[in-house]
Structure 1
Amino acid sequence: MFLNKLEFSQNFRSILQQAGQIPPLPETARSLLRLRNNPDANLDQLTELIEQDPGLSIFIMKYARMSVFGYGNRIHSVHHAISLVIGFDTALNLSMSIVSSGCLKMPNHGVLSRGRIWNQTLECAILCRELCQVSSNNQMINRDLMYLGGLFHNFGYFLFAHLYPREFAYLNDLISRYPKQDIRSIQMQVFGITHDTIGMYLIKSWNLPEEIATTVAEQHFPDYSGKHAGYVKLIAVANRLLRNHSNTDGCPYLETSVLLESLGINETEAIITTEKVRNCRSEITLLAEELAA
């Protein structure tokens, strides 16, 4: 028998607030985080760390071969993938998210399968990074932190599945049965807690940057006006654009055009940038399937 909503929510929050209940970052992820926080870190150190994991090495090279970058099969090493194509920060952030997810068990079936979550995650993170490039207010948002926020914004689903596999399976089934109902609303109605709140606790437990914790916690509320509001607005915009302007966040009264204007992003530029990411969907899907394997 499932606990009732109030009991489940209270139990879940209690676990999230207890030291030692959330799985710690894997050692490789901790090494990557230390490298990220080291102002003297260099490309050779990052390459060496990534190459310790053959699967991660292959993934980084495949990512760099995506058509959006234009290098294709000319990328034959991790060093080239980072130095010529994706850059130090993007490679480090992508590697850290992949390695971190490995400690969280999650099924690979249903609407909330591991593959589908990674698919949406990669699309959103890539679009967030690209939108930063065309923003006239890019001083308010660090492009690489925004990309990291995009990569981690769905991790609440991973932790939910890891800690409560039976309840997560039920959520997965409910979403399959009611595809037109907002996913977050289903979580709140049935469990009294949502993936964004769960993800926020995870990010804080792992001592990731404050900007990431705020992005994850407030991602469905682009009217948020506190510290790091730009990150929250941008991830909401990215998710709306990827859903053909379908507004599934908590602010239906806020037009996407208004959010874009506040971010200094021209609407036409946003549409062009989104199409650029959409054109890579088949490649992103293959990458997501690899991460779910």
Structure 2
Amino acid sequence: MLIFNKLEFSQNFRSILQQAGQVPPFPETARELLKLRNTPDANLEQLTSLIEKDPSLAAFILKYARMSVFGYGNRINSVHHAISLVLGFNTALNLSMSIASSGCLKLPNHGTLGRVRIWSQTFECAALCRELCHIMTKKNLINCELAFLSGLFHNFGYLLFGHLYPKEFSYLNDLVTRYPGQDARSLQLQVFGITHDTIGMYLIKVWNLPEEIAITVAEQHFPDYSGKHASYVKLLAIANRLLQNPALTDGCPYVDTLTLMESLGINELEAKAAQEKIRGCQSEFLTLAQELAA
């Protein structure tokens, strides 16, 4: 059993997060993609060129575009086709940026909090966020692509934890795997005094990603949050609840899921249809995550 001072550990971790140069810098490819995202007249050729610079990233985008839910399969034989015919500019860019960003963060592949399970859940959550966003009637509350990007980055706190403190993270991974019904966040707080949502928020801020993502990551377990960009927090909470992952239970059981959906103008029947659509993709998301971890 790992024995250490919880208060000292959490203080040291927070100190590292607040020091310039201690957190891994935003990878070069991810930085170029973010710059492209912020360029109003960015075009398909520029994005294709950036993705093709990284063979593993290009292979991932092709595999994602060939998922059965899109109906194209192996007819998609180029990054250009994957973007223009299937994913669209923004989805391809956001997917690429999240994958490129994770490359600088080391994490064990296996266990409930291993890279395979984390990415599989991340893909499911981000995709469901996007589906739910599209069926919202109160569309002025949320930018769908930012919601998708928030879903893609909401687990990055785990990646940074594992990267900076591999021994301690391995212990946490074992604990969460051993007690599957236990809330993972509560275990983090009890054992380490710091949680992945706080860690992830610092990382998002250091990497200068949009404010909506930083707030969503920080407040993801508190759908009763009512501050700035609260709609993104609620949408992420709804997606994670519908995915029914016990390790991702949020801290507001008294807030009914239907109430959250009503606040965003999401119809319950349409939400269930979106849930079933993503459930139908789970094996493919798992395969993508396994190949990403290889």
Structure 1 95/252 Cα, relative in aligned 2: closer, same or farther at 3 Å? same
Q: 1:117 aligns to what?
A: 118
Change in 2 beyond 3 A, CA 1:247/1:170:
closer
Decide whether the 8 Å contact of 2:181 with 2:247 is kept in 1. no
* Counterpart AA for 1:105: K
Matched to 2:219, the amino acid is: E
Tell me the residue number matched to 2:130: 129
Amino acid at match of 1:195: H
CA contact (8 A) 1:245 1:256 kept: no
Q: Which amino acid aligns with 1:40?
A: D
Once residues 268 and 68 of structure 1 are traced to their aligned partners in structure 2, the CA distance between those partners, rounded to angstroms, is 20
Deviation at 1:145, TM superposition (A): 0.4
What SS does the corresponding residue of 1:41 show, helix, strand or coil?
A: coil
User: Within the alignment, does 1:16 sit opposite 2:17 as a pair?
Assistant: yes
Contact 2:183–2:248 under 8 Å retained in 1: no
Q: Is the 8 A contact 1:6 1:191 kept in 2?
A: yes
Match of 1:108 in 2: 109
Indicate the residue corresponding to 2:61 in structure 1.
60
Is the 2:130–2:148 Cα contact (8 Å) retained in structure 1?
yes
Distance 1:244 1:200, change over 3 A: closer
1:280 aligned residue: 281
SS of 1:68's partner is helix
Q: Distance in 2 between matches of 1:206 and 1:244?
A: 28
SS at match of 2:105: coil
- Letter of the 2:112 partner, please give it: V
Which residue in 1 is equivalent to 2:179? Answer: 178
- State the number of aligned residues: 293
**CA offset digits 1:256-293 (Å, max 9, x no partner):** 00000001000000000110010011111111111111
Supply the AA of the counterpart residue of 2:70. Answer: F
- Give the distance between the partners of 1:244 and 1:93, measured in 2 at CA: 24
Q: Could you say what the CA RMSD is over the residues aligned between the two structures, in angstroms?
A: 1.3
Structure 2 counterpart of 1:161, which letter? G
What letter matches 1:9 in structure 2? S
User: Deviation of residue 177 (structure 1)?
Assistant: 2.0
Q: CA deviation at 1:245?
A: 9.6
Q: Is the 8 A contact 1:240 1:246 kept in 2?
A: no
1:5 aligns with 2:42: no
Post-superposition shift, 1:70? 1.6
Percent identity over the alignment?
A: 74
The separation in 2 between residues aligned to 1:48 and 1:225, in whole angstroms, is 41
Amino acid at match of 1:225: S
Aligned twin of 1:250: 251
Q: CA deviation at 1:119?
A: 0.3
SS in 1 for 2:68: coil
Q: Which amino acid aligns with 1:281?
A: Q
Question: Which residue of 1 is the match for residue 44 of structure 2?
Answer: 43
Q: Give TM-score, length-normalised by structure 1.
A: 0.98
Counterparts of 1:176 and 1:245, CA distance in 2? 11
Once the two structures are TM-superposed, the CA of residue 247 in structure 1 deviates from its matched residue by 8.1
Q: Is the 8 A contact 1:106 1:158 kept in 2?
A: yes
Q: Kindly tell me: are residues 16 and 134 of structure 1, through their superposed partners in 2, closer, same or farther at Cα, counting changes over 3 Å?
A: same
Q: Report the CA distance shift for 1:44/1:153 in structure 2 as closer, same or farther (over 3 A).
A: same
Task: Give the superposition deviation at 1:173.
Answer: 1.2
